[in-house]
Structure 1
Amino acid sequence: MSFLADKQTLDDLNIPGRYNNKSIYRIFDNVITGGGRKLLDDMFRYPLTDHLAINERSSIFQYFDSNPAVLPFSAESFSIAENYLTTGASATMPATAWNIVYRKLLKTVIRDNSYELLVTGLGKTITLLIAFRDFIYKLAEPGAYGPVQEQVEKIRQIFNDRRLLWLRKETDVKNIPLPKLIKYDYQLRTGCLEEMKTVIDIIYQFDVYIAVSTVARTKHFCYARALPKHKNVINISGLFHPSVEHAVPNDISFHPASNVAFLTGANMAGKSTFMKSFGIAVFLSHMGFPVPAAEMEFSVKDGLFSTINVPDNLEHGYSHFYAEVLRVKSVAEQVGASKDLVVIFDELFKGTNVKDAYDATLAITAAFSEHRNCFFIISSHIIEVGEALKKQDGSYRFLYLPTVMEGNVPRYTYQLKEGITADRHGMIIIGNEGLIALIRKRE
C-alpha cells in the first residue's frame, strides 16, 4: 500500500514541480539521466509504508553520502549511448554485418551519415561502459559495498562475461576495424541486450542515489529512522524548512498520550512555515529520503493530510467556509476509517465568524484527539480554544511561536515554546504602516 497524500496536501507543502524552483522535488532534481528522473518521479509519487523498505532505501543514500561519487560521464554522452543501445539492433550476426556494410556503402555513394552515427554511438557506448566499469570497481573493496552489494555484483558479473572481455582491451574507439565493429555492435545490441538493459537500469539507480545523497551532504539533512507502525511515535530534533535561508531549527514529538499539538502565535510568527516543515519531513521520511532536521525517528503512517491554503470553489458555488468544512470532512472520513495519519490544520474555520470558529475548532480538535493512532498539528488565533482544551482530560500539547516587542516593532524568534500565547500585533503592524492615516489623508 502506498502512502496517502492528496493534491491539496502536496500543493500546501509545495512538494511536486520539476519546473518550480521552490518545490521540494526541485531540491533533489540533480539527476543527469532521463531514466533517473523517471525513477525520482516514481519515488515522489509513491512514498512507502513499510519500515524495512524505508530503512533499506535510506541506507543506500547514506552509503553514497559516506562514499561521495560522481557518475563518470555527462548527460549528453549517456543519452547518445542509451539511444545507441536501445535502437537499431539486428536479430542475427549476418543481419548486423549486412546492416553495417550497407550503411558504409551509402556513406560512399550518397554521403549518408547513418554509418557515422552508428560508429559514433558505438564509440561513445564503449567509452561509457569502460568508465562505468572502472567507477564500480573503485567504489570499495569487493564485499564492502553495503546496501548496493547486489547492483555492484551484477555489474561485475556482466563485465566478466566472456562475450564482453574485449572491453578490457579496446581503447581506440575512433578507429575500430570493420570486422570488430560488426562483432561489437552485435554483442552490445543483440547478444548482450539484457545485460545492457541491466547496466542502464543500474545507472539510473546510481544517478538518483548520488543526486539525493549529495543534497543531504550539502544541505545538512539527516536520515530518519523508520519504526514499525505499532511504536506510534514521531521524534524530530532540529527541524527546519529546506527552502528558508538561515532557518531556525525546532524540536517536535508525538506519541499516543500527546497526539495533538495546539499551536498559537501572532501573524508572521512562523506557524505556517513550521507546520509545512513538519509535513515535508513526514513526507520525505516515508520516501526514505534525507529530511531537513538534525535527527528524526518515526513510526510509519498510512498518510499525510494538510489544510493550509484552502481556496473557495466558485465553480461549485462553495464559500471559503464551506470549502473548509468539506476538507475537514474528507480528512475525518480517513481518520474514521482507522487509518494511521498525520494531519495538519492551519487556522481551522477562518472563513466564518469568531463564535462559530471557536465552537467548531474546539469540537473538532477534541474529537480528533480521541484517535490516538493519529497525530495532529492544529493552529489557531483563537487562544480561548486552547484554554478550553486545557481544562479537558485530553492528549494535548500546547505550543506557541513568540513575538518580542522592541518598542512598537515586533521581532519574531521562530523558536517554539511550551504554552499558549495571547500575542496579537495586527493593529501595531497596521499602525506602523500608517494605513489609517493614509485612508484619512485629505488633499
Structure 2
Amino acid sequence: MSNSSARPDLLDIDSHTFKDLEIFTSDNGGASLFDFCNRTRSVGGAALLRRRMQTPWACAERIAATQAAVRFITESRALFKQMPSVYAVEGTQDYLEEILPSLDFRNRLEFALGAFQVWANQDSHYFSIVKGAQAACRMIRALRSFVALPALKSAPGELGPLLQQLRALLSRPNLRMVPDFDVAGWGTWKMLKLDQALRVKEKDTLNRLLALNYEMEALVSMADANAEHGFVMPEICYGPLHVTAEGLYHPYLAHPVANPVSLNQQHRILFLTGPNMAGKTTYLRAFATALYLAHLGMGVPAQSFQFVPVQCLFSSISLTDDLCRGVSYFRAEALRVKAVAEAVARGDRVLTLMDEPFKGTNVKDAFEASLAILERFSTRENCLFMFSSHQIELSDHLHRLHNQVNCRYFEAVESGERLHFDYKLRPGISDQRLGMRVLREEGIFELLDQATAPEIEFSPAEDGIP
C-alpha cells in the first residue's frame, strides 16, 4: 500500500508496517489496534473507521481538523447520543440493499394498479418495503433533530462540513415529505408513494446520508476510545521534522513503564541497545503506534507528545523470508531497506524504525551493513530513524556520524538468581551480554549434561568375531 503516490495528504504506510504495529491483525491472536479503538455501533460505522485507519493523514491541516472534531465530540458527548439509532440506520441500509419491486410510474392509474399488485401478490415484499421505509423515516427524523441542535451550528474541524452536507441533503423536496411523526398508520397507497420517493427518486441521497452518518460514528468512536484509554491529544508542530514525547507507553500493556522520546534534526538517529527481553522492541512499537495514532488525529498513550507530521512511516520489526517467491531472510531485509531508501531519495519526510537489522547474514557483514546504513541516515535532512542493535561494536564508530546519533539503552538488573528488567530508557550504550546466563537460568546446559547417549549393542557377527 502506498498512499502518497495517489493522495499527498495521506501517510505512506505499507502492509508490513501495518502488520508490525498490529493495526488490523495480531500475531498472537489478541486484539488489534482497530479492535482497541473500535467503539462504533453499526457495521457501516466500523467500515468507515477501518477506512480511516487504513489511510492516516500526512498533512497538519487534515490532522488538526480531525483533532478539533474529536475534541468537540469529547466535550459535548451528550449531543451525539441523539444521532439515529443503530436500528434505524441498519434498517435503512438493508432497505436500500434488498432487491424489492419498485413503482416508478408517471401515470396515476398505472401506479395504482402496480401498488395493488404488490400488495395483493407479493405480500412479503410489501411488508419489507413498509419496514424499510419506516426505518428510513426514523433515520431522517433523527438526523433532522440532530443537525438542528443549536450547539452544533458552530461545530469545528471535520464536523462542520459533514453537518452542512447533512442539512443540504435533508432539505431536498422529496425528503421534506417525510413527516415528523411515525408513519406506521399510513395505508398502502401512501406507503408505496413514500417508497417511490425514498428508494427510487432519492436512493443516492439516502446512501449519502448513511455515509455521512457513518463518518460521524467513526469520529465518535475515536473520541470514545481516547476517553476510555486516557489518551492525550498530541501537539502538531511545524518546521524541521522532529518528534518529542514524555511518558510514552504501549497501550496494550496492563502495567506499562513510560519512557521519553526525542528525535530531531540535531539527533536524527536514536541508536538503541540492550539485551533481549529488556524492552527495545516494545519501545519501538510503542513509539510507532503513538505516531500512527497522532497521524489519525487521535490521542496518544503518553503524558505529552509533539510532532511534525511525516509523509512515510516504515517499520522493520518482524521480517520473514518468502519461500514462494524465493526471497531469503537477508534479501527480505535488503528489500526493506531499499523501500526506505527509495522514499528518502524522493525527498519525503521519512520516519523509519529498524529492529536489529541484518540478522540474516554473518556478523562481519551485519556490522559493515549497519555502519554503512547509519552513515547515510545521519546525513538525510528532514528524516528520522530509530535503530536497535546488538552490535555494540558500532559505538566505536558512531562519533564519526556528524554528531547525529543519540545513544540510549535498556538493561537487565543482574542481582539475585534471576534477571530483572525495569524497562527504563537510559543514556549511553549497553555492554551487557546475557545470552549464556539466560541459557543457564533456563537449565538448558544441566538438561543436556544429564542426558546419556544410548548404548549401542553389536552382535558378534557385526563385530567381526567368529
Give yes or no for TM over 0.5.
Answer: yes
Distance 1:255 1:308 in 2: 22
CA distance in 1, matches of 2:251, 2:437: 31
Return the match for 2:12 from 4, 21, 25. Answer: 4
> Per-residue displacement from partner, 1:185-219 (whole Å, max 9, x unpaired)?
23323454454333212111111111111111101
Matches within 5 A, 1:81-160: 81-85=92-96, 88=100, 89-92=102-105, 94=108, 97-106=112-121, 112-138=123-149, 140-141=150-151, 143-147=153-157, 148-159=159-170
Which of 253, 256, 271 lines up with 2:265 in the alignment? Answer: 256
Change (3 A) 1:411 1:70: farther
Map 1:384-399; keep pairs closer than 5 Å.
384-390=393-399, 392-399=401-408
Distance 1:322 1:216, change over 3 A: same
Question: How has the CA–CA distance of structure 1 residues 289 and 101 changed in structure 2, closer, same or farther, with 3 Å as cutoff?
Answer: farther
Quick one: distance in 2 between partners of 1:409 and 1:13? 30
**Displacement, 1:72?**
4.9
The residue number in structure 2 matching 1:430 is 439
CA RMSD between the two structures: 2.7
Q: How many Å apart are 1:21 and its aligned residue?
A: 4.3
Does residue 176 of structure 1 match 2:186?
A: yes
* Distance change in 2, residues 1:150/1:363 (3 Å): closer
- Percent identical pairs in the alignment equals 27
Q: Distance in 1 between matches of 2:334 and 2:193?
A: 69
Q: 2-side partners of 1:117 and 1:413: how far apart?
A: 62
Deviation sequence 1:381-424 (CA, Å, 0-9, x none): 12221242135532111111232233122221222121112223
The reply on whether 1:205 has 2:205 as its aligned counterpart is: no
Structure 1 stretches of 5 or more lacking a match?
A: none
1:13 aligns with 2:32: no
Hey, what's the Cα distance between the residues in 1 that align with 2:332 and 2:111? 64
Counterpart position of 2:48: 39
The whole-number CA distance in structure 1 between the counterparts of 2:45 and 2:401 is 52
2:140 counterpart SS class: helix
The structure with more radius of gyration: 2
For residues 125 and 308 of structure 2, what CA distance do their matches in structure 1 show?
57
Partner Cα distance (2:363, 2:301) in 1? 36
Identify the match of residue 400 of structure 1 among 409, 420, 436: 409
Instruction: Tell me if the contact between 1:408 and 1:428 (Cα under 8 Å) persists in the aligned partners.
Output: no
Match of 2:352, SS? strand
Counterpart of 1:102, as a letter, is Q
Counterpart of 1:104, as a letter, is: W
| CA shift digits 1:144-198 (9 cap, x unpaired) | 3223233334434555566545545423x33222343234223323454454333
The amino acid across from 1:204 in the alignment is Y
1:92 and 1:186 in contact (8 A); partners too: no
Instruction: Give the distance between the partners of 1:392 and 1:233, measured in 2 at CA.
Output: 19
Alpha-carbon distance in structure 1 between the residues aligned to 2:171 and 2:335 = 61
In the alignment, residue 124 of structure 2 is paired with which amino acid?
N
1:177 is aligned with what amino acid? G
Q: What does residue 284 of structure 1 align with? A: 293
Q: SS at the partner of 1:350?
A: coil
CA pair 162-308 structure 1, distance change in 2 beyond 3 A: closer
- The corresponding residue for 1:323 is 332
Letter in 2 for 1:128: M
- Which residue does the alignment assign to 2:460? none
- Report if the CA contact (8 A) 1:100-1:115 is conserved: no
Alignment of 1:186 with 2:192, yes or no, is no
Letter in 1 for 2:212: I
Q: 1:346 aligns with which of 339, 342, 355?
A: 355
C-alpha distance in structure 1 between counterparts of 2:217 and 2:386, whole Å:
36
TM-score when normalising by structure 2: 0.84
Distance in 1, matches of 2:204 and 2:228, equals 36
Amino acid paired to 1:273: T
Give ranges in structure 2 of 5+ residues lacking alignment. 1-7, 453-466
Q: State whether residues 65 and 217 of structure 1, in contact with CA within 8 Å, keep that contact through their aligned partners in structure 2.
A: yes
SS of aligned partner of 1:345: strand
* Amino acid of the structure 2 residue aligned with 1:10: F
In structure 1, the residue matched to 2:464 is none
Distance 1:195 1:299 in 2: 39
Distance 2:111 2:398 in 1: 78
358-367 or 429-438, larger mean C-alpha shift: 358-367
SS, match of residue 378 in structure 1: strand
CA distance in 1, matches of 2:55, 2:230: 24
Mean Cα deviation higher: 240-249 or 24-33: 24-33
- Cα pair distance change 1:353/1:195, threshold 3 Å: closer
Give the counterpart letter for 1:9 in structure 2: T
The equivalent of 2:372 in structure 1 is 363
Report the count of equivalent residues. Answer: 436
Aligned equivalents of 1:159, 1:212: Cα separation in 2: 26
Moved more, 240-249 or 329-338: 329-338
- CA 1:92–1:227 in structure 2 vs 1: closer, same or farther (change >3 Å)? farther
Could you list the per-position Cα deviations for residues 212-271 of structure 1 after superposition, in whole angstroms to 9, with x for gaps in the alignment? 11111101122233344x431112222221222222222212111111000011110111
Is the alpha carbon distance of 1:62 and 1:259 closer, same or farther for their aligned partners in structure 2, counting shifts above 3 Å? same
| Aligned twin of 2:461 | none
29, 36, 47: which one aligns with 2:38? 29
Matched AA of 2:216: F
SS in 1 for 2:231: coil
Structure 1 pair 235/223, CA: closer, same or farther in 2 (3 Å)? Answer: same
Shift of 1:353: 2.9
- Does the CA contact (< 8 Å) of 1:18 and 1:29 recur in 2? no
